[in-house]
A = this chain, B = another copy of it.
């Protein structure tokens, strides 16, 4: 349960039913005169109708508006509450005030004209926001309109991140010879945050079975998903899968995927907790997390169905080759030319994080395609 005012982007845990109708009463949509529509029939600028003025409906007065008898009218403002009997409002622009007590109506109004009916937006008892909905500006506003100043949202799934590598040091540390700073803990935290999860960094774990198993067991107890980013080397990779096998049943389901970059990916489940072994290369780790971790978080949040996704279509600047049977992801830089975008592949090995800094998006070459010619239209997934 959190304050609705801070709930932007969160996921609704329980469907919201309207406790009151909206609008809660019959309202005017204009400044003018509340009337009985039939009293204005035939009115025109050449043949006006004259109505007796019985007062003014003050905004927010809390008093019920006075009754409106035939041939009478009353001053009303935009949003004001109509008298029970009134069924239309004549706009002030279509009238001429004759005196304190009389108004000339220069245009007929139909019943319902310039009026919002009680319940026209939502009826009392209607389900107005479904559970699993992402709360956008309009849902926040709708909740406030109904008086829900607090709202029950889905808890952010906590995603454990373990970085391994004897050569990896905390970013605060000055790396010594042969050492590099941890990148994956932070790129993955950002991705998790963006997908709606809560990153839980376990820090850097040495490349040995006992140390990794010890931390992985703690993460398995505390987190809803565990991510282990290992070096992509053969030896270290085996270490990760051996540790995962000790965490629970059924263990490793997939060891290696036909995706470039990111081949040495591990997908596993240990006693109901998804465990994902990511390559150690920062580019591969981030791309594979985008493919597997983001949808997993969406699923844990209870977001139903695939949301419509916007696409950017660009023209490929050069020929690209791809191996059949493998899915390729290629970072691209986007350059505007005349009325379209050009996608320029950013080449760089998957070890180089700044390759992605130079890229505005990704293109995907599906397994059955062996290449894309220069000038072809490609779908770019924006970062």
Residue ranges of A at the interface with B (Cβ–Cβ < 8 Å): 4-5, 8, 22-25, 27, 29-31, 57-65, 77-81, 92, 116, 120-122, 128-129, 136-142, 144-149, 165-169, 171-172, 174-184, 186-191, 193-194, 207, 231-236, 280, 282, 286, 307-313, 334, 336, 341, 348-349, 351-357, 359-361, 380, 382-383
Contact = CB atoms under 8 A, between A and B. Distances in A.
Given A144-B182, A360-B308, A233 B31 contact: yes
Contacts of A311: 310-313
B22 A179 contact: no
B181 A145 contact: yes
Contact of A355 (B81, B121, B175): B121
A61 B178 contact: yes
Contacts of A313: 311
17 contacts: A4-B171, A8-B194, A24-B180, A25-B177, A30-B233, A57-B178, A62-B178, A80-B178, A120-B352, A138-B187, A138-B356, A138-B359, A141-B356, A146-B181, A147-B174, A149-B172, A308-B341
Contacts of A30: 233
Given A22-B354, A312-B311, A77 B145 contact: no
A305 to B, nearest CB: 9
B165 A147 contact: no
A332 to B, nearest CB: 10
A121 B348 CA distance: 8
B181 A382 contact: no
Nearest to A334: B308
B231 A308 contact: no
A21 to B, nearest CB: 11
Nearest to A170: B149
Contacts of A334: 308
B353 A178 contact: no
Contact of A233 (B63, B77, B166, B348): B77
B361 A187 contact: no
Contacts of A189: 5, 140
Contact of A190 (B137, B194, B348): B137
Contact of A121 (B121, B232, B353, B361): B353
Question: Most chain-B Cβ atoms within 10 A of its Cβ — which of A165, A348, A357?
Answer: A357
Contacts of A141: 183-184, 186-187, 190, 282, 286, 353, 356
Contact of A60 (B64, B168, B194): B168
A122 B354 contact: yes
B312 A280 contact: no
A353 B367 CA distance: 45
A207 B190 CA distance: 45
Given A62-B178, A78-B232, A142-B183, 5 more contacts: A4-B186, A59-B165, A65-B178, A137-B286, A138-B286
A78 B190 contact: no
B187 A79 contact: no
